[in-house]
Every structure is written in C-alpha cells, then in structure tokens.
Structure 1
Amino acid sequence: MKEYNIGEKIKELRLSLEISQNDLAKQICEPQDLEKIEKGDEYPTLPQLHTLAKRLGIPITYFFETNWNQNVDYVNSVKTLMRNYVRDREYKALYEIVKREEEMPIFEGPDNIQFFLWHKAICYYHINKDKDRAIELLYKALETTNREQTDLREEEIQILHSIAAIHYDNNELEKAHDIFMKALTSLEKMYKIKNRKVYLRILYGLTQVLLKLKKYDECLKFSNLGIGICISEDNLYLFGEFYYQAGNALFKMGEVTEGYEYLSKSTSIFNVQKNDKMEEIVKEETFKLLNTSSSS
C-alpha cells in the first residue's frame, strides 16, 4: 500500500477538513495508531479504511488513485461531509463549513454556488429559526441553475424537497403538498433517477402531508408505492416509515385489522434495523390508535 501514500492522503484530507486525530480515530483505532498510519509506519486494515473514507466523505477508491484532480476531489469531499452533517442534524458544524468554504475560488461555478446556498438556507432555518430567509435562499439556489424551474435535475428537486419540508414543519400543508407533487412529477419525467433515495424521500414527505390533510386514500396509495419500490429494489431506506404511514391511514379509514398489520410490520422492520427510537414511537402510536378505535 505504500506506493499509494495512504497515510499522507488521510492526513492531508483530515487537516483540510480541520478534523483532529482524536475525532477521526474515534471507534476506528487509537489516536496513536492513526498517527502511525499517517506517518506510513503502519497500514490500516480494509475495514478501518472503509470507515475512515466514510468519515472523511470520500470513496475508498480515493486512496488507491495515483493521479487525481485534487481540486475536484476536495470539492466532492467537502460536499459529502456537508450532506453527512445534514443527515446527522449537525447544523452548527455544517454552518462552520459553509462560512469557511463558500467564498473560496475552488467553489466557483453555478452548481457549487447553488449547493452552498441550499445548505446555508438549511442552517438559517435550523439554527436561526428564520423560515422566510431560508425559503428565500432556497429559491435563489434554484434560480442559480434553473430560473424557469422547468426540466428539473435531481439536485434541484432535492432543494424543492427542502422547501416543502419547511412548509410542512410550519403546518403550511397545502403549500407543502403542491411542492412535493411538483417534485414527484419532475422525478417521474426523468428517464433514469440516479439517487433512488431522493424519490423515496419525496414520496415519504408527500405521505406525511396527505395524512395531516386527512387525505387518507391518497396517503395509503403513495405509502404502498413506497413499500413496493423498497421491496422491488431490496432497499430498506424508509421501508418501516412507509408501513407506519400506511398503517396510520388505514386506522383513520376505519380499517383497524389491516392497519394493525401494517403497523406491526413497521415495528418489526425498525426492530431489525435496531432503530429503537422509531420502534418505540410506532408501538406507542399503535397503542393510541387501538384505544381510540375501541372506544369509538
């Protein structure tokens, strides 16, 4: 592995992202072992390398490339790290990256400008609680690459998802519904969807809105569509959530037996995924729904 300078690449990327040895080494190896790896005195195991790559926001193949475009690689690494912070809801850490990197020449170009506007908006909403400014920035991000908002790309549809999610979070359900439907229609026009998780996220957001709007038939229809996609693609992403939404809708429609079956499947899926928080939420909701249906 020495000819690939793996240790040097780990150190270079770690320093560029301002991650300490202690933080990078957590649950992978001891900090002193990471120091030896970075010096080239030791080599990481393949499982360690996989985890290091994930934490640094890069594909594992990065370590084995002898010729690469450092600028492009750095941009992609920063973007991946930012998306990971969104996933983990580490909004303050995300904002620090936005402030530090957005004005750097390396991030010029409409796609990168759009990406940073999108994530700045996420920070404004979750840290500053400024809904209006966040939505303003999100639409500005869309206009950076698509002023007419026609023939949307997946990246632009993800920004629509963020807008719809903010409206949903503020109980502006009709607005959220219209934007989710626009996003879904745009996705379904595509010849091929690169990131299927985007499609599933849009579907799930739509089911949440429909349930609150008491459009239970539609909620059930889109929940079952999500379940079908998860099964056909052997994909557990949002699988339990779709069963949960469908079960809720069925209970509201008076279909108690079938609704209970869906919620039981949801509980089982979360149990397999070791998602204790969601498993407990579904159990509590099932108990409430059963009590409500028995007393009515």
Structure 2
Amino acid sequence: MTTNSLGDIIRSLRKKYKLSQEELADGICSPVSISRIENGTQMPSGAVLEALLTKLGTSTYQLCDIYYKSEKQLTFEKDAEKISNLIAIGNIAEAQKELFHLKDRAKINNQNLQYYLLLDASIKLYEGYNPQDILSILYEAFAQTKPSFDFDDFRNVLLSVREANILNIIVVSFYRSDDILKAIRLGEELMSSLKRQKSSLKEYQIIKINLAFNLAQCLEKEHRFKEALSYIQMAEDLSIKSFEQALLPEIEFIKAKMYHLLNNDNECIHIIQAIVPYMELIHKSDFAKIVRTYAEKELHLCL
C-alpha cells in the first residue's frame, strides 16, 4: 500500500474524528472489513465507500480532491529530489533550470517552500554567491517550519532532516563569511542535537558526516588542530560504519593535513600515498591533483 492510498485517507479521517474501527463500521460493514480497507487488502463497494465517507464528513468529490493534491505533492517532492541529486553531482546548470519550473509549485505549503529555498541556497553556495545573501535565504527557509527558534540553544529540540540540513549549510555559510566562531558554536550545537536524536535514518547519518567534516575545517582555521582531528576521525568513523563513503577521500585528506600540522608526517604521508591512486580510480582526478600539489609543497613528496 502506498502513502496517500484510499486506506491511508480513511484511517487518517477516522483518527481525526476519534472513531474506532468498530464505531466506523457500525451499520455499514464489519470491523474486519475496515481493517482490510485501511491496510489496502480490500476495496470497498461504491455503496460502502459512500457510507463510510459520509460518516467521516466527506464525499467522493472531496476524496478525489485529496488524491489530486496528494499527487501534486508527490510530484513536487520527486522533482525537488531530482534537483538535489543534480546539485550533488555538480550539474548546477541543469539544477537551476529545473528549480525555475519548481518555483510556483513551492508556494503550496510551508514544507514545499522550505525545500525550494534550501535548494536555491545550495545552488548559490555552490556558485560562490555572497554568503550573507545565502544566509538570508537559509533563515527564511528555516522559519517556514520553526519561526521561533533559539539558534544558541537547541540541543534538546527535535529537528527534521531538512531543518538539520539547513543548519549545516548555515555553518558552511558562516565559514565562508569568516565568522568561524559562529560556525563552530552553531555546528557543535547541531551535532549535540543530532546525537541526542539517536536516529538511524541514513539522511541523518549523512548530515552528521558532513557536519563533522565542516567542523574540522572550521577548527583547522582556528589552529585548533587536535579538536579538528577528533572531528575528522568522527566523520571517518561515521562514513565507514554507515557505508556512506562518497566524502571519504576528502575526509582522509583533511585527516592527513591534521597529522602534518601536529608534526606526525609519517602518518600523513602514509594516508596521502594511499588516497591519491584511489582518487584516480574513482575519477576524482582534479582532487588528486590538489593532493599531489599539497604533498609536493608541504612534504616535498612527489607522487
């Protein structure tokens, strides 16, 4: 049974009116039939459906409207996810084109508008827009679902995946604005919140990996190398345990840099010698070139 199926809608309406299955079934059909309809294993006859909907304060016309709105919502989310994937692989021109077509549909509800603004900010971040302009978009996006929010104290607040994503990009925007201490404070508060949620959802794990990576870079800029190493090791551990290893080569490079800055060149060289051929293998040759340049300049190592 898919989300927004007939059974889902009947169950939702029944709970809205605080009716048990027995109460809804009374005089229409058996409670077993209600259970089967809600679970998607039985379709009601036209007469039974009309009677159930009348009891639930709706009609087949209104039900069709619910289906129509649900279909529009599913289409929006599918298109938004496509744009998110385009951004992830760096196809920004195509992402911008698709986002333009999403704009009017984003105004349907706050969640859609939040998603649209997050995608818009992500594209602008990728293209190097003014961080302050990006921050304005991100704050507007966050306010769609949490208009009153204490950005200094939220470790006990339950965050949606999208809200956590927005906060993580705010951390990056602070970093780009050279507001490093703000970035660290917000990032550490967000990490505390995510740890307290203890969710095993893949999306939360990816955010934690990215956040730990971002915090390591912030702390490096403050010359807090031991703390930076601790966060990059956290990112590495999360990446390996969750099998989300898209960022692992970059994580290992930052880890190598921290070892160099902490005067452990043996460990640094060991990592760099391992990751350069791996980067070439996975077609990250541009990044491999960056690592080679670093190795030659900082370690006098030719790879």
Q: TM-score range by the shorter chain?
A: 0.5 to 0.7
Answer yes or no: is 1:129 the counterpart of 2:129: yes
Deviations 1:80-130 (A, max 9, x none): 1220232234445434433432223x7522211111122233455556834
Q: What is the alpha-carbon root mean square deviation over aligned residues?
A: 2.5
State the partner residue of 1:242. 251
Counterparts of residues 212-291 of structure 1 (less than 5 Å) = 212-291=221-300
Residue identity matched to 1:151: L
* Residues 135/212 of structure 1: CA separation in 2 closer, same or farther (3 Å cut): same
1:238-271, CA deviations, whole angstroms, 9 ceiling, x for partnerless residues?
A: 1111111111011011111111112223324323
Q: Does the 8 Å CA contact 1:271/1:279 hold for their aligned counterparts?
A: yes
Match of 1:211 among 201, 212, 220: 220
Gap runs ≥5 in structure 1: 1-68
CA gap of 1:126–1:250, structure 2 versus 1, over 3 A, is closer
C-alpha change, 1:154 and 1:113, in structure 2 (3 Å) is same
Structure 1, 133-142 or 168-177: larger mean CA deviation: 168-177
Question: What is the aligned partner in structure 2 of residue 185 from structure 1?
Answer: 192
1:148 is paired with a residue whose SS is coil
Question: Which of 151, 155, 158 pairs up with 1:151?
Answer: 158
Q: For the structure 1 residues 291 and 141, does the alpha-carbon distance in structure 2 shift closer, same or farther, using more than 3 Å as the test?
A: same
Q: Contact conserved, 1:173 with 1:213, CA < 8 A, in 2?
A: yes
CA distance in 1 between counterparts of 2:170 and 2:139 reads 8
Does structure 2 conserve the Cα–Cα contact (< 8 Å) formed by 1:75 and 1:107? no
In 2, are the aligned partners of 1:167 and 1:173 still within 8 Å (CA)?
yes
C-alpha distance in structure 2 between counterparts of 1:208 and 1:266, whole Å: 19
The TM-score, its normalising length taken from structure 1, stands at 0.68
Could you give the per-residue CA deviations for residues 21-64 of structure 1, whole angstroms, max 9, x where no partner exists?
xxxxxxxxxxxxxxxxxxxxxxxxxxxxxxxxxxxxxxxxxxxx
CA–CA distance in structure 1, aligned partners of residues 84 and 259 of structure 2 = 34
Counterpart for residue 81 of structure 2:
80
Unaligned runs of 5+ in 2: 1-69, 151-156
Q: What residue in structure 1 maps to residue 71 of structure 2? A: 70
Matched, 1:139 2:147: no
SS state at 1:145 partner:
coil
| Match among 190, 211, 224 for residue 202 of structure 1 | 211
Aligned length: 224
| CA contact 1:110–1:144 (8 Å) conserved in 2 | yes
In our comparison, the structure showing a higher alpha carbon Rg is 2
